[in-house]
RNA sequence: GGGGAUGUAGCUCAGUUGGCUAGAGCGCUUGGCUGGCAGCCAAGAGGUCGUGGGUUCGAGUCCCAUCUUCUCCA
C-alpha cells in the first residue's frame, strides 16, 4: 500500500464515521506568540479545547503537517542519525469536541488498524493510564482499561505512568489520560528472544508507539488543581511516516515511499549510494528529511531569514547543506533539485507544493549558494587560525568566534581540526555559547501574569466591521512585563470594535473611556460623566482572543466603557488595505498569474507587499501597475462584502485564497470589481476613497520574491507636495531657469571644466612658488635650508614639501601657514639627513610648536604641528636654523 | 529583540601602535610585441575610504550616532 493510499484510507475511514475532513492548517503559525510552528495535530483546534471558539462540526479528522526542531526526543541535531526521527512529519488525527468519547475512539482505532490496514493483532500493544499518587491523586483509567480488555488480551495491555499516559497541553488548560497503541515489527526470531511488552516505551526502533488517543476530561487550573470538564473531548494523533513503515513492512521510515524517491534522487545527483556507508546514509537521511521541512515552510510563506521562524528554517536547510558538503562532497547547490521530486510525490495531497514548485527550488538554490560561500570563507579563516595556533589546541573562544560571527558550523571546525591533528576546546566553546544564550534570554524576558477574570464570557464579539465605537466592559485582563516594552496590560472586552493585527493589517489604536456611574458623577461633577481615558496602543489576537494593549489599567475595571477606535489611523489603514488588493490584482494582470502574495503589511502610513516574481520590474511595468490600480480607483468600485459564506463557495466564486493562511469553513470575501479575496481586514466602502495610489519602491528580498512599497490617500498628497517643494528649491537655487535639467547639466559641465582649470592653476601656482622658494634656499653647513611662511593650505604645504624634497638629499625645510587664523608648521627633512645628523622632524615641530602655542608630530622626515598663536610664526622660523648650525 | 562582524577602484580584497601624496590582483582604455591553452610588455583612466558628528597638529585607522550586508542567540 503506498503512502498516498494510507493517507486516503485514514481519511475515508473517519468520513464513514461521520467525521468532516478538514485541510491541514499551515505549518507556520502566525497568531500565537507562544508557538512558531504547528508541532502537533491539535494545534489548529486549540481554541476549541480552550472554549474560545466553536468548531463547525464536533467530529473532525485530518492530516496535519507538523514541524519539530526541539524537545526531548527531537533535537534537530539528532535527526538523520536514526531511522525514525523527523523535523517535518504528518500527524493523522481524529477529533471529538464534546461528542463521542473513549468507547468510539478505542473501537475505531482498533478497527482501522486491524481491519482496514490489516496489522497483525498479535503485534499490537496498548497502554492505559495507571493513575498517580501525587497531588492530583488520580485513579487508574478503568473505563479505558475495560474497553480494551474486551478486544485485546490482558497480557498485551500495559499500565503507563503520568509521564507516558497523561497528556497536558501546557501548565494550564484541558488535559487527561491517554491510551497509546504500540506495534512490534521485529522478526519472529527477535520476538521470541525478548517479549515486545518489555520494549514498549523503551526507545526501541522497532517497538514503537503509532497512535496516541488522548481523552480530555479535566481542566488544569492556574492554582494547579484539576476540575472535571463539562464537555469531554478526544484528541488523537498517529504518525503518518511510522504507519507507512509498518504497513510497507520495512524497518525504517526512510525505506518507505515517503522518502525513497527523495533518497534515490539524492543518490543520483550526488553519486552517493544509500545503504553502503553509515556516514553517507546519515547525510542522505538528513537531506531527505530537511528538504521536506523547508519546502513545506516555504509554501506556507516562511522564507529562510535571520530572525524568528525564518531563522529556524534557515538552520534546517543549512544543516542539510552542511551534511552534503562534508559527507557527500557536494560543493555546488543541489538540494533545490529535490523540490520537483517532492512536489511530484506529495503534490496531490498538498497542492501548495505543486503550485509553488519553482519558488521553492529558487529559494533553496539561492540559500545553498550563499551558505556554500559562507563555508568557503569560514574554511579560509579556519586555515588562518590553524596557521596562527601556538600549540595543537584551538581555543573555544576562537572556534566560537568562527561560529558566531562567521557562521562556520562547529562540527565542521571539529572535523577539520581532527583531520589536521589539532584538538578543539569544546568545553570553552560551549561556555561561550551559554554566555551568548544567557545574554539573549535576559534581553527578551517576558513575564506574563495570570489572567484576572472579571466575567466569564462565551466569546468576544468583533463588531469593528460595522462600527468604530461601542459600549463595552472588561471580561479579563493580565499584566505582561518585558525588557523591550516595559510593563503593559492586556485587556479582553466582551465585544470590541478594535481590529486585531492579522492578515498583514496592523492592530487598531484608540481609547477606552469609562462611563461614570451616577454616584461617581456626584463625587466628580466636573467630569461630565466620563472618567480618565485609557489609551489602547495596539490590538492583537492570541488563541482567538482579542487583546487590547494598554500602559495602565482603568481605576475601575468593572466600569462600563466607551471603546473608540482612532478613525484617522483606521481610515488610512483601510485605504492601504483596499489598495493592497487592487495591487495584487494589478500585478497578476500585468505580470501574470504566477504572482502570489508572499507577505503583506498594511499600516496607516504605507503598504508593503511581497510577491513571487522572477525579475526586476521595468519602469514600464511599474507604471502599468500603478495605472491599473488608479484606474480601479477612478472607476469608483463599491465594496462588495460577503460574510459567512462557505470556503468552497468563495473559491468557486473566484476568490483568491493565500497559501499559508488558515481559513475556517465560513469565510469573508472582499470584492472590488473583479478583485475578490478572502480577507478579514478593514476596507474602504468605495475605491474612490483611496484617492490615489503611488509606488514608492520595488526591490528583491529573496530569490524569486520581490517587495513593493506604496502609499495612498493623503500620504500621496504629502509625497507629491514634498517632491514639488524639492523641485521648487532646486529651481530657486538655480535662479529659476527655463529648463532646470538643462541648467543642471550645464552647471555640472561648467563645474568639471572649472575643476580642471583650477587644478592647472594650482599646479602653476605651486610651480611658481616652488621656483620662487628654490631661489631662496640657503646653504648652511652643506645643508640646503629654508624656513618661510607661505600662503597655502595644509595639503598644499605638504605637496610642496614633498616636491621640494625630491630636489635633493640634504634639505631641511620649515614651512609656516595660516588657515582660519590658525598657524601651522610643516617640517620636511631629507631622509639622508635624518640618518646622518640624527635630526627628527617630529621633534623639530614639537619644539618650535611652543612659539605658536601648539603641538604636533609625525615621522622623522616629515611632521606637522598646529597652534593658536600665529604671532609666534616669525620666531619659530628664526629658530629653525639652530637645528643645523652645529 | 540582544551580541559579533562588515562596508576602501567596476569586481575580489590589503592597508601595523593614528603619520611616506590610499595600494594589489583581476577587469577597463591606449600603444607596442606575440603562433594559442587566463598571451606578454609599457603607459593610463578609475576612490565623497557607507553616511553624519566628534577627538587630534594630523583620521581609511580612535570615539559616538546612523544605515547596508553577513552571522550567532532568543
Q: How far apart are CA A25 and CA A273, in angstroms?
A: 36
Question: What are the tens digits of pLDDT across the range A235-293?
Answer: 999 999 999 999 999 999 999 999 999 999 999 999 999 999 999 999 999 999 999 99
Strand B close residues, chain A 202-241, CB < 7 angstroms? none
- Using the predicted structure, report yes or no on whether residue A169 has a pLDDT greater than 90: no
Please give the average per-residue pLDDT across A490-509, as a whole number: 90
More confident residue, A823 or A183: A183
Residue nearest to nucleotide B5 (CA to C1'): A405
Query: What mean pLDDT value characterizes chain A?
Result: 87
Per the structure block, which three cell numbers stand in for A566? 482612532
Residue A96 near residue A104, CB atoms below 8 Å: yes
Quick one: CA dihedral A499, A501, A504, A505, positive or negative?
positive
Residue A819 near residue A794, CB atoms below 8 Å: yes
Give the count of beta carbons closer than 10 Å to the beta carbon of residue A318: 22
The number of residues in chain A equals: 886
What is the per-residue pLDDT for A382? 86
**CA→C1' distance for A709 and B67 (Å):** 19
Question: What are the tens digits of pLDDT across the range A130-146?
Answer: 999 888 899 999 999 99
What is the per-residue pLDDT for A305? 81
| Nucleotide in closest CA–C1' contact with A374 | B70
Q: How far apart are CA A182 and CA A627, in angstroms?
A: 63
Distances, alpha carbon A269 to alpha carbons A263, A322, A335, A338, A780, in Å: 10, 16, 9, 9, 82
Please give the average per-residue pLDDT across A160-186, as a whole number: 88
Q: List the beta bridge partners of residue A92.
A: A63, A238
Cα Rg, chain A, nearest whole Å: 38
> 3-class DSSP state for residue A622?
helix
User: Which residues have a Cβ under 8 Å from the Cβ of A22 and sit 6 or more positions away?
Assistant: A60, A61, A62, A665
Q: How far apart are CA A885 and CA A880, in angstroms?
A: 9
| Nucleotide in closest CA–C1' contact with A802 | B21
Residue A262 near residue A111, CB atoms below 8 Å: no
Q: List the beta bridge partners of residue A181.
A: A126, A211
**Widest CA span of chain A, in angstroms?**
122
Please give the average per-residue pLDDT across A844-859, as a whole number: 87
* pLDDT band for position A10 (cuts 50, 70, 90): very high
Q: What percent of chain A has pLDDT over 90?
A: 39
Phi, then psi, of A699 in degrees rounded to 5: -170, 180
Question: What are the tens digits of pLDDT across the range A778-814?
Answer: 888 888 888 888 887 777 788 788 878 777 778 888 9
**CA→C1' distance for A50 and B35 (Å):** 85
Quote the Cα angle for A576-A467-A666, to 5°: 75
* pLDDT band for position A11 (cuts 50, 70, 90): very high
Q: Taking Cα atoms as reference points, which of A638, A632, A629, A610 lies closest to residue A693?
A: A629
Q: How far apart are CA A712 and CA A708, in angstroms?
A: 13
Q: What percent of chain A has pLDDT over 70?
A: 95
* Sheet-wide strand order for A607-612: A597-602, A607-612, A705-712, A693-702
What is the per-residue pLDDT for A487? 80
Question: Would you list the DSSP string of A16-42?
Answer: TTTPEE-PPPPSB-SS-TT-SB--STT
**CA→C1' distance for A759 and B10 (Å):** 26
Residue A460 near residue A492, CB atoms below 8 Å: yes
Residue nearest to nucleotide B19 (CA to C1'): A858
What is the per-residue pLDDT for A228? 87
Distances, alpha carbon A246 to alpha carbons A186, A253, A256, in Å: 10, 9, 9
Question: What are the tens digits of pLDDT across the range A312-356?
Answer: 899 899 999 999 998 998 888 899 999 999 999 999 999 989 988
Please give the average per-residue pLDDT across A166-184, as a whole number: 87
Question: What are the tens digits of pLDDT across the range A760-779?
Answer: 666 667 667 778 888 888 88
Phi, then psi, of A784 in degrees rounded to 5: -75, 125
Per the structure block, which three cell numbers stand in for A462? 468583533
More confident residue, A376 or A126: A126
Q: How far apart are CA A62 and CA A746, in angstroms?
A: 72
**CA→C1' distance for A273 and B37 (Å):** 37
A735 touches strand B (CB under 7 A): no
Question: What are the tens digits of pLDDT across the range A822-837?
Answer: 888 888 888 788 878 8
Please give the average per-residue pLDDT across A57-73, as a whole number: 85
A70 touches strand B (CB under 7 A): no
Q: How far apart are CA A217 and CA A231, in angstroms?
A: 7
Phi, then psi, of A349 in degrees rounded to 5: -75, -30
Phi, then psi, of A142 in degrees rounded to 5: -65, -30
User: Which residues have a Cβ under 8 Å from the Cβ of A864 and sit 6 or more positions away?
Assistant: A794, A798, A824, A825, A826, A827, A845, A856, A857, A858
- Using the predicted structure, report yes or no on whether residue A524 has a pLDDT greater than 60: yes
Residue A669 near residue A566, CB atoms below 8 Å: no
* pLDDT band for position A705 (cuts 50, 70, 90): confident
A396 touches strand B (CB under 7 A): no
Residue A149 near residue A210, CB atoms below 8 Å: no
Q: Taking Cα atoms as reference points, which of A544, A606, A556 lies closest to residue A576?
A: A606
**CA→C1' distance for A762 and B16 (Å):** 34
H or E stretch at A644: strand A640-646
ipTM of the prediction: 0.81
Ramachandran area for residue A182 (φ above 0: left; ψ -120 to 50: alpha; else beta): beta
Per the structure block, which three cell numbers stand in for A125? 500493544
Residue A567 near residue A470, CB atoms below 8 Å: no
Please give the average per-residue pLDDT across A354-363, as a whole number: 88
More confident residue, A580 or A883: A580
Per the structure block, which three cell numbers stand in for A367? 540559500
Please give the average per-residue pLDDT across A636-650, as a whole number: 92
What is the per-residue pLDDT for A131? 92
Per the structure block, which three cell numbers stand in for A483? 525588557
What is the per-residue pLDDT for A173? 78
Residue nearest to nucleotide B58 (CA to C1'): A864
More confident residue, A331 or A684: A684
Which bases of chain B are under 7 A from a protein CB atom? 1-5, 13, 19-21, 56-58, 70-74
Q: How far apart are CA A834 and CA A840, in angstroms?
A: 6
**CA→C1' distance for A756 and B50 (Å):** 28
Please give the average per-residue pLDDT across A835-848, as a whole number: 85
More confident residue, A429 or A33: A429
Q: Name the least confident of A43-57, A240-254, A741-755.
A: A741-755
A644 touches strand B (CB under 7 A): no
**Can you give the pTM of this predicted structure?**
0.79
- Using the predicted structure, report yes or no on whether residue A479 has a pLDDT greater than 80: yes
Strand B close residues, chain A 267-306, CB < 7 angstroms? 306
Q: List the beta bridge partners of residue A213.
A: A179, A236
Strand B close residues, chain A 824-863, CB < 7 angstroms? 824, 842, 854-859, 862-863
**CA→C1' distance for A384 and B13 (Å):** 16
| Nucleotide in closest CA–C1' contact with A407 | B71
Residue A865 near residue A849, CB atoms below 8 Å: yes
* pLDDT band for position A752 (cuts 50, 70, 90): low
**CA→C1' distance for A411 and B60 (Å):** 37
H or E stretch at A245: helix A240-247
Quick one: CA dihedral A397, A398, A401, A402, positive or negative?
negative
* pLDDT band for position A306 (cuts 50, 70, 90): confident
Q: Taking Cα atoms as reference points, which of A604, A424, A419, A461 lies closest to residue A546?
A: A461
* pLDDT band for position A755 (cuts 50, 70, 90): low
Residue A866 near residue A854, CB atoms below 8 Å: yes
Q: Taking Cα atoms as reference points, which of A344, A257, A293, A353 lies closest to residue A28?
A: A293
Amino acid at each position: 500500500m503506498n503512502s498516498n493510499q494510507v493517507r486516503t484510507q485514514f481519511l475515508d475511514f473517519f468520513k464513514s464515521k461521520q467525521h468532516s475532513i478538514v485541510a491541514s492548517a499551515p505549518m507556520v503559525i502566525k497568531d500565537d506568540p507562544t508557538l512558531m510552528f504547528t508541532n502537533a495535530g491539535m494545534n489548529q483546534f486549540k481554541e476549541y479545547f480552550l472554549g474560545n471558539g466553536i468548531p463547525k462540526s464536533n467530529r473532525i479528522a485530518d492530516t496535519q503537517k507538523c514541524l519539530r526542531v526541539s524537545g526531548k526526543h527531537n533535537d534537530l541535531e539528532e535527526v538523520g542519525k536514526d531511522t525514525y526521527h523527523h523535523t517535518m512529519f504528518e500527524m493523522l488525527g481524529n477529533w471529538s469536541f464534546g461528542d463521542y468519547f473513549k468507547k468510539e475512539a478505542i473501537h475505531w482505532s482498533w478497527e482501522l488498524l486491524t481491519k482496514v490496514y490489516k496489522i497483525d493483532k498479535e503485534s499490537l500493544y496498548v497502554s492505559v493510564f495507571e493513575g498517580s499518587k501525587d497531588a492530583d491523586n488520580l485513579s487508574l483509567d478503568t473505563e479505558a482499561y475495560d474497553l480494551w480488555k474486551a478486544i485485546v488480551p490482558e497480557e498485551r495491555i500495559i499500565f503507563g505512568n503520568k509521564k507516558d499516559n497523561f497528556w497536558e497541553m501546557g501548565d494550564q488548560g484541558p488535559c487527561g489520560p491517554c491510551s497509546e497503541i504500540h506495534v512490534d515489527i521485529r522478526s519472529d526470531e527477535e520476538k521470541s528472544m525478548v517479549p515486545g511488552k518489555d520494549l514498549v516505551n523503551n526507545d526501541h526502533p522497532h517497538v514503537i508507539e503509532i497512535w496516541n488517543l488522548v481523552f480530555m476530561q479535566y481542566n488544569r487550573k492556574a492554582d494547579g488543581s484539576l476540575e472535571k470538564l463539562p464537555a469531554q473531548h478526544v484528541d488523537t494523533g498517529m504518525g503518518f511516516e511510522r504507519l507507512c513503515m509498518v504497513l510497507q513492512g520495512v524497518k525504517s521510515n526512510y525505506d518507505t515511499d515517503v522518502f525513497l524517491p527523495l533518497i534515490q534522487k539524492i543518490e543520483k545527483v550526488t553519486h552517493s549510494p544509500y545503504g553502503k556507508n553509515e556516514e553517507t546514509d546519515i547525510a542522505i537521511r538528513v537531506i531527505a528529511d530537511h528538504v521536506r521541512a523547508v519546502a513545506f515552510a516555504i509554501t506556507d510563506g516562511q522564507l529562510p531569514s535571520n530572525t524568528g521562524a525564518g531563522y529556524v528554517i534557515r538552520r534546517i536547510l543549512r544543516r542539510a547543506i552542511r551534511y552534503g558538503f562534508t559527507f557527500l562532497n557536494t560543493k555546488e547547490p543541489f538540494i533545490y533539485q529535490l523540490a520537483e521530486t517532492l512536489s511530484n510525490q506529495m503534490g496531490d495531497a498538498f497542492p501548495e507544493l505543486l503550485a509553488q514548485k519553482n519558488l521553492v527550488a529558487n529559494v533553496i538554490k539561492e540559500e545553498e549558494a550563499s551558505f556554500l560561500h559562507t563555508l568557503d570563507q569560514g574554511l579560509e579563516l579556519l586555515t588562518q587560525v590553524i596557521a596562527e595556533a601556538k600549540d595543537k589546541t584551538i581555543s573555544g573562544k576562537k572556534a566560537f568566534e568562527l561560529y558566531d560571527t562567521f557562521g562556520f558550523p562547529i562540527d565542521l571546525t571539529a572535523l577539520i581540526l581532527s583531520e589536521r591533528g589539532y584538538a578543539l576546546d569544546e568545553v570553552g566553546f560551549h561556555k561561550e555559547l551559554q554566555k551568548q544564550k544567557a545574554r539573549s534570554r535576559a534581553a527578551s524576558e517576558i513575564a506574563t501574569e495570570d489572567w484576572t477574570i472579571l466575567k466569564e464570557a462565551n466569546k468576544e464579539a468583533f463588531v469593528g466591521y460595522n462600527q468604530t465605537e461601542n459600549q463595552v466592559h472588561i471580561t479579563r485582563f493580565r499584566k505582561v512585563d518585558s525588557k523591550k516594552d516595559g510593563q503593559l496590560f492586556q485587556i479582553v472586552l466582551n465585544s470590541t470594535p478594535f481590529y486585531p493585527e492579522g492578515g498583514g493589517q496592523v492592530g487598531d489604536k484608540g481609547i477606552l473611556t469609562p462611563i461614570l456611574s451616577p454616584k461617581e458623577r456626584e463625587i466628580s461633577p466636573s467630569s461630565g460623566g466620563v472618567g480618565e481615558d485609557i489609551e489602547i496602543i495596539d490590538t492583537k489576537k492570541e488563541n482567538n482572543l482579542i487583546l487590547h494593549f494598554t500602559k495602565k489599567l482603568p481605576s475601575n475595571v468593572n466600569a462600563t466603557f466607551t471603546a473608540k477606535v482612532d478613525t484617522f489611523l483606521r481610515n488610512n489603514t483601510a485605504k492601504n488595505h483596499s489598495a493592497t488588493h487592487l495591487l495584487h490584482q494589478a500585478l497578476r494582470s500585468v505580470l501574470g498569474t504566477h504572482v502570489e502574495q508572499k507577505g503583506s503589511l498594511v499600516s496607516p502610513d504605507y503598504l508593503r507587499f511581497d510577491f513571487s516574481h522572477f525579475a526586476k520590474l521595468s519602469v514600464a511595468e511599474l507604471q502599468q501597475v500603478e495605472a491599473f490600480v488608479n484606474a480601479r480607483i477612478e472607476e469608483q468600485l463599491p465594496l462588495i462584502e460577503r460574510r459567512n459564506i462557505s470556503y468552497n463557495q468563495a473559491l468557486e466564486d473566484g476568490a483568491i485564497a493565500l497559501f499559508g493562511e488558515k481559513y475556517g469553513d465560513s469565510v469573508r470575501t472582499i470584492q472590488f470589481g473583479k478583485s475578490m479575496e478572502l480577507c478579514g481586514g478593514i476596507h474602504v466602502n468605495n475605491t474612490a476613497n483611496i484617492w490615489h495610489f503611488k509606488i514608492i519602491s520595488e526591490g528583491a528580498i529573496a530569490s524569486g520574491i520581490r517587495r513593493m512599497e506604496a502609499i495612498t490617500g493623503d500620504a500621496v498628497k504629502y509625497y507629491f507636495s514634498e517632491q514639488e517643494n524639492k523641485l521648487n528649491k532646486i529651481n530657486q537655487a538655480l535662479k529659476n531657469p527655463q529648463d532646470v535639467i538643462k541648467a543642471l547639466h550645464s552647471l555640472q559641465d561648467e563645474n568639471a571644466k572649472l575643476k580642471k582649470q583650477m587644478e592647472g592653476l594650482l599646479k602653476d601656482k605651486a610651480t611658481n612658488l616652488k621656483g620662487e622658494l628654490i631661489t631662496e634656499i640657503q646653504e648652511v653647513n652643506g645643508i640646503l635650508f629654508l624656513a618661510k611662511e607661505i600662503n597655502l593650505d595644509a595639503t598644499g604645504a605638504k605637496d610642496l614639501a614633498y616636491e621640494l624634497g625630491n630636489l635633493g638629499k640634504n634639505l631641511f625645510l620649515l614651512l609656516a601657514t595660516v588657515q582660519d587664523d590658525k598657524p601651522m608648521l610643516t617640517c620636511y627633512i631629507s631622509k639622508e639627513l635624518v640618518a646622518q645628523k640624527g635630526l627628527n622632524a617630529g621633534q623639530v615641530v614639537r619644539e618650535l610648536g611652543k612659539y605658536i602655542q601648539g603641538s604636533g608630530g609625525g615621522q622623522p622626515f616629515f611632521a606637522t604641528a598646529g597652534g593658536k598663536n600665529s604671532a609666534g610664526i616669525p620666531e619659530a622660523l628664526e629658530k629653525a636654523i639652530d637645528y643645523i648650525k652645529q
